[in-house]
Structures are given as structure tokens and as C-alpha cells.
Structure 1
């Protein structure tokens, strides 16, 4: 992985924990140099992370002993080619660990959205006096409907974390059957119904060719006036122009941790709107939360050394429908 990532995710105290389990051969940022090739020729396990070079057939040829790749972040797709899995190398991802802060952030935003914190704070800041909030805003989390788009790892964790609240949760996911939805304690609905009836729509679908523009202008147009769209997934999943139109018309609220592009151009209406909470992709693992990623990888390494199955092994058959 890149050196800045290594220092953040695996500081010295974490490395010491790894050294108590296995021989740490070195820290690589590339696979091209003779020094790096000598290292990977002797390793059984590679730990990868954000900024890692792609592992392809050439890298595999230089790593004859390689048995497992433990990825210390979410998706592994940018970092390895199909040759890795075809060779039978076990691949693990820390996606479940990275899902925790995203789900926690999402639940916090859902609860704040139903209390209409954004517009109330804006009004209060300007008026500097009391005003009748209940007369102007449909406040409260009791008996509100939350629509989850995508029963992904994060989507399922959001569902679990919402369980203690008096909310109705509905889910859209073409791969979620009625029985599985019942086990999750939610109802599976069509995307049109979800958008038209939910007080908060929260996006947790993976970014795939089939999900680009999934929430198109028609669906955003069907969202009820006063509803909130939360997106912690990827910006390209929604029709951003359609969302801008409804937000600036005073019809919707938006809580966006992702946009297209990643950093919006200066003067974009989302920056100045009191109906938008715009954050620079902070929902995922940052700060102390990076320790959870390191712990996930360390636990997987211990399982390998103990001859156990990986707890978070990447399933080949699910790669096409996951991030």
C-alpha cells in the first residue's frame, strides 16, 4: 500500500502485533523493483490497502509461495485481476470492518434528518429567536418510513442499527428475496414505491454499470416533498442534476458524503444550500476507526496461522454484484 496509508492503518504498535504472529518480510509500495520482487518471492501472505499496485499475472509469477491476500480496506476489485482467484489464492477483505463507521454515520444522519436539524438550525441562526418549529416542520422519528436502497454489507448493518427505533424500514435490492427480507426484519419493495413513500431514502448500492443512474430523474421526481436523500455510497448512483433541481426548488433535503465529481466545482448550489449537508467522504474509516481495519486483518492472519477458514473471504461468485 502507499506509505501514508501504511503509517495511518498500521502504526508501529500494530506492526508489533503482526510480528508476534508471523515474520514481517517488509513494507512495499510497488512490485516492479528487484528489491520488491525478492520480498514477494518469499511471502505466503500479502497485506494490501488503499493505493496498492494491481496484482496481476506478472506479480503472481514472482510470488510462487503466495497463498493469501488480506486487504485492509473494502473492495478488492481495483487491486487484483481474475488470475489471483483462478490460482486459488484466498482473498480476504476488511469490508465488514469498514462498513461499521459508514452505517453508524448513516443512522445518525437518518435520525437527524427526521428531526429536520438542517433547516431548523439554519432558521434559528438567522432569526436568533424562538419560532414554532412544529408548525413548519413534520418533526420526529416515530413511525417514519426509511427506504434502504441496496441490502449490501453496509445496508444490512444500517438495518440492524435501526432496529431499536420505532421506524418502518423497507428495502429495495433485486437480489433480496422475500424470505431473506423477513429474516432481516424488513419488507422488500420496488424502487418506485420506496422512493415515493419513504421519509428518508438511504443509498447503499454498489457502483456497477447496472447501478449508474439507478435513482434517475423520474424516481427523484417521485420522492415526497420534504423527504431526505442520504448517499454514503457513490455519487454516480443518483441523477445529481435531478437532485439539484428538487433541492433548489425547496422540495427535498440531501445529506451527501459523495458526489460527482468527488469535489464539486466552486459555486455549486449544494455548497450554499441550507437543505444540503455536504461532507468530503468522511463516513468511512478515518482516525481511530482505522484501527478496526488493522484488527480485522490481524484476526484473519491469526486464522491463517491456526489453519482456520478466513472469516471475510471474498466470494468469487459475488464479485460481479458487489462493489
Structure 2
């Protein structure tokens, strides 16, 4: 059995699981392989592929170019980049790993705090011989607007309450009763955007949420308010966001982007009023032990003829 581990940016897979327990040849790919044809050439002859989240797309055409593939393991519980129906039709078993949400909620607050207190600029100043550069924003008494009050959003809301913030929330199906269970006030999207000092996004990317925040929505935000996105880049219209940032209308703390890895010449890299991280919301030791440990379990179960954690269309 030949196993390919994809997109292991930190070269961490071997440290977080016992791959030697498998009777297999294991190859780690540390960076995106390339386009369809390059992926097909690189993965020719591999029976098993371990995909890191949605970094590599496995649509029907890509799967067709991988006739040797028998098992596709996706880290996390869902993967919109895999065409499950096409995989099933081709006889490829797709399995998932478990996932915990606390690393992303923690990074959300790291971004909020870094942006509120201008930590990147202050840290650079100290290292280059400077001193105090700015006046930060305190969070106590401010309003936190949470878009999406699911498992992750509710965890972020709870931390906001611990900081003494007033927390409001909106999503398309959120009820006042559900919000009240978390001590949060349900409001309209318009009210959330126009009253919140910090707006944080915690909804899944779907047809309904793609472009959820465009120019019209961003214009509703308070002057100088902070927009935080640790969910998916396309939920926010990128062109509209860049215009708002350059106009000084709002600030943004981003961990996710339309294109990942973010191209070296991407305009967001030079945009003002931003704190940027490279999609590391889930990148922690806890999460990686689960991801890669479960991946090894999934492969062993498949080899034994009893696949586990199977994903179906």
C-alpha cells in the first residue's frame, strides 16, 4: 500500500501519528502540488491519499485522473472540496476524521485582541528600537456581533461575555430562544452590523453565505469597527472589503482567503488596517493529533476490510 499525505505545510504528520504501524510506503507532500495534471502525475500509483481539509480539490475530473486511488481520507468531519458522489461512482472510499472547534475559537480571540490593541505594529516597534505607537481599543462594554451562533460561534460569544462585552448574534435560522440559551441577544443582520464594535463570522460557506457581506453590508458597519473572519474567505466579498479597508472605514482580522495559500502579490498583503494570519485556526497540537491519529486508524481499518468514518453523498 502506498500512502500520500498532502499539504503538510509544517511537516507535522509524522510527528503526530504512528505511521510506522501501517504496512505501507508513506510520502509527505509539504506544499500544494499544482494543477490537475500535476496532481495526477504526482499521485499516480498511490492507493491512499490523506487530504488536509479543503486544500486540494477532488472533483469528478480530478478523481477520474487518479485511477489507482482506493481510499481518500479527509481531515475534519466535512469537506466541500470532495465530490462524494463521483468518488462513490469510481469505487473510492472517502473517510473523515474527528474535529474539535476550540482551536479556532481561541485564534478568533487572538485576532480580536491583536487588532484591538494594535499588537503587530507595537511588537515591530519594540524590535526596531521604537516604543509606543498607537492607542488601543478596550473591549469591556463594547458590542460583539456574532454571525452564526453554532458550536464555534457560541464559544466565541462566551469569551466575549467574559470580557464584559454585550453580545448580539444573527444567522438566517437563529431564534430568540436559541440565542437566549447562550445569554445572547438575537438581532437582524442590519442591526448587528450597524451596532457592533467587533463583527466575527462563524457560518459555513454555502450558496446562501457566499458573498454574505458585500459592499452594502460593510457600509453598515460602524466607522473603525473590526471585522474578523476565521470561517471561509468567500463569505466576504473581497473587492468590497479591500475598498473599505483602503478607505479607512473599517478594520479586518483575517485567517481565511478566497485563494489559499494567499499569492505573494495579493493586494490583501499590503492592505492597511489589517491583521493577517495564514489559515491557522485549526493548526494546533490537539487538532493534529486527532487528524493524523484518526487518519492512521482509518487506513488500518480499510486495510482490514472494515472501513470506519465513511462519508457518503
TM above 0.5: yes
Instruction: Give SS of 2:81's match.
Output: helix
Instruction: Give SS of 2:181's match.
Output: helix
Aligned partners of 1:243 and 1:55: how far apart in 2?
A: 29
Instruction: Give SS of 1:210's match.
Output: coil
Q: Unaligned stretches of 5+ in structure 1?
A: 41-45, 317-323
Shift of 1:199: 0.7
Tell me which residue corresponds to 1:158. Answer: 156
> Which of 159, 170, 173 is matched with 1:172 structurally?
170
Q: What's the TM-score once normalised by structure 2's chain length?
A: 0.68
Tell me which residue corresponds to 2:32. Answer: none
Aligned partners of 1:288 and 1:207: how far apart in 2?
A: 24
Once the two structures are superposed, residues 151-199 of structure 1 have per-residue CA deviations (whole angstroms, 9 ceiling, x without a partner) of 3443344234445331222222213333322223322222111111111
Aligned pairs for 1:24-173 within 5 A: 48-50=50-52, 54=58, 71-73=74-76, 75-82=78-85, 91-94=95-98, 96-97=99-100, 99-117=101-119, 128=130, 133=135, 139-173=137-171
Instruction: Give SS of 2:152's match.
Output: helix
Tell me which residue corresponds to 2:265. Answer: 266
Residue 182 of structure 2 corresponds to residue 184 of structure 1: yes
Aligned pairs for 1:286-305 within 5 A: 289-295=287-293
Instruction: Give SS of 2:270's match.
Output: helix
RMSD over aligned Cα atoms: 4.7
- Structure showing greater radius of gyration is 1
Q: More helix by proportion, 1 or 2?
A: 1
Aligned partners of 1:279 and 1:153: how far apart in 2?
A: 22
Once the two structures are superposed, residues 60-107 of structure 1 have per-residue CA deviations (whole angstroms, 9 ceiling, x without a partner) of x999xx9x97632353232342377899x895443x33x332221101
- On the 8 A contact 1:211/1:237 being kept in 2, the answer is yes
Q: Unaligned stretches of 5+ in structure 2?
A: 30-38
Deviates more, 1:248-257 or 1:107-116: 107-116
- On the 8 A contact 1:271/1:278 being kept in 2, the answer is no
Shift of 1:31: 10
